[in-house]
Amino acid sequence: MPAGEFALIARYFASAACAAAGEELALGIGDDCAILSLAAEQQLAVSTDTLNQGVHFPAGADPRLLAWRALGCTLSDLAAMGAKPVGFTLALSLPEADEAWLTAFAEGLNTAAQQYRVRLVGGDTTRGPLSLTLTVLGRVPSGMALKRSGAQVGDLLCVGGVLGQAAAALPWVLGERLPEAAAEGLLHRYWQPAPQLALGRALRGRATSAIDISDGLLADCGHLAKASNVLLEVDSARVPLDANAVALLGAEQAQACALRGGDDYRLAFTLPLRCLEGLQAEGYAVSVIGRVRSKQVGGALELLHNGRRETVTQGGYQHFQEPTDG
């Protein structure tokens, strides 16, 4: 395919509504770089995510949903820092310039970008196996970014919303189970993750640490414990589950999805007790699922599960003692 078709695609994206200059975007698509203006006393948050066909999504995925999912996943990293989205770049590799596919993809991208009030500021469209790399740019008041480090002994460990939906949706995503109405909500969550951008901003000045749950609750709590050098305790019974996941898969499997499944794109964070009521009063669905038990160099994670206390290691679970205070 001639390179010219890819130049056409680039112009196609440049004309999308979500690519219009304005506000913080001084110069949009069409020059060698985009130019962004940040307000005074703001820092810039940056994150990059890649989705490859056959690895991160199945072949034949609906391009509208794929666009939405790619943007949602990547924006979740901004949410975890308490940053407000400003713009994103899209690097899109395509095996061929399929107009129907591109039209649907661009529609999905435009809708999602408008929903999250973020602008497409640039990118590159090339020939290659189907792959998307998005780089998101956000702003956060100087010194106010939420980090993984910072959890304090005595803080509550909290999550926003319910967990495990995307992992519970996998049998339907992969076509292993026949479509059914009760799975629609799970599929929606898989394909259109809702990055908790408002919650992330509400956590500024309140949460002592935060992370987005993309690798699974326990894995990401492990990252948080390590970055903060604390021992975190998670009570599995307090992890909020999706009612449809429980109905479709059973409580045990739904809980496993919530603890170990990936792609939730919800926030986990540590919070002083005094800040909990305010957050809930503002309408955020925040659940307390554990606490910061003690300082521990290198971090550690313990799971209270079925009346036992287990140490969670990266490779799995290591049973070590009966609960002493649970």
Q: Which position has the token pair 């200059």?
A: 21
Answer yes or no whether residue 202 interacts with a copy of itself by CB under 8 A. Answer: no
**Beta carbon nearer to a copy of itself, 207 or 248:** 207
Per CB under 8 A, the list member of 17, 46, 237, 247 interacting with a copy of itself is 46
CB under 8 Å to 315, separation ≥6 — which residues? none
Would you say 157 and 234 are in contact if contact means Cβ atoms under 8 Å apart?
Answer: yes
**Beta carbon nearer to a copy of itself, 121 or 258:** 121
Answer yes or no whether residue 15 interacts with a copy of itself by CB under 8 A. Answer: no
Near a copy of itself in 234-293, by CB under 8 A: none
Answer yes or no: is 48 a known binding residue.
Answer: yes
Per CB under 8 A, the list member of 81, 186, 221, 248 interacting with a copy of itself is 81
Q: Phi, psi at residue 194, to the nearest 5°?
A: -105, 95
Q: Which position has the token pair 């799995």?
A: 316
Answer yes or no whether residue 44 interacts with a copy of itself by CB under 8 A. Answer: yes
Instruction: Encode 174-189: b = buried (16+ Cβ within 10 Å), e = exposed.
Output: eeeeeeeeebebbbeb
Supply the minimum distance, in Å, between the C-beta of residue 35 and a copy of itself: 5
For residue 91, give Cα distances in angstroms to 51, 58, 121, 311: 11, 19, 11, 40
**Beta carbon nearer to a copy of itself, 49 or 302:** 49
Give strand pairing partners of 139: 44, 84
195 burial (CB, 10 Å; 0-12 / 13-18 / 19+) is buried
Bin 253: left if φ > 0, else alpha if -120 < ψ < 50, else beta: alpha
Supply the minimum distance, in Å, between the C-beta of residue 247 and a copy of itself: 30
Per CB under 8 A, the list member of 16, 20, 21, 27 interacting with a copy of itself is 27
Answer yes or no whether residue 313 interacts with a copy of itself by CB under 8 A. Answer: no
Alpha-helical segments (H) within 192-250 = 197-202, 217-228, 243-249
Supply the minimum distance, in Å, between the C-beta of residue 189 and a copy of itself: 20
C-alpha–C-alpha distance, residues 6 and 192, integer Å: 27
Q: Segment near a copy of itself (CB under 8 A), from 9-17, 71-79, 160-168, 280-288? A: 71-79
Supply the minimum distance, in Å, between the C-beta of residue 115 and a copy of itself: 20
Answer yes or no: is 214 a known binding residue.
Answer: yes
Answer yes or no whether residue 140 interacts with a copy of itself by CB under 8 A. Answer: yes
C-alpha–C-alpha distance, residues 116 and 197, integer Å: 9
Answer yes or no whether residue 39 interacts with a copy of itself by CB under 8 A. Answer: no
Answer yes or no whether residue 33 interacts with a copy of itself by CB under 8 A. Answer: yes
Taking the alpha carbons at both ends of the chain, their separation in whole angstroms is: 63
Answer yes or no: is 206 a known binding residue.
Answer: no
- Binding interface with a copy of itself (CB under 8 A): 4, 26-27, 30-38, 40, 43-50, 52, 54-56, 76-78, 80-81, 83, 87, 89-91, 93, 121-124, 126-129, 131, 133, 135, 137-138, 140, 142, 145, 147-149, 210-212, 227, 314
Query: Which residues carry a binding-site annotation?
Result: 32, 47-49, 56, 77, 123-124, 148, 212, 214-215, 263, 317
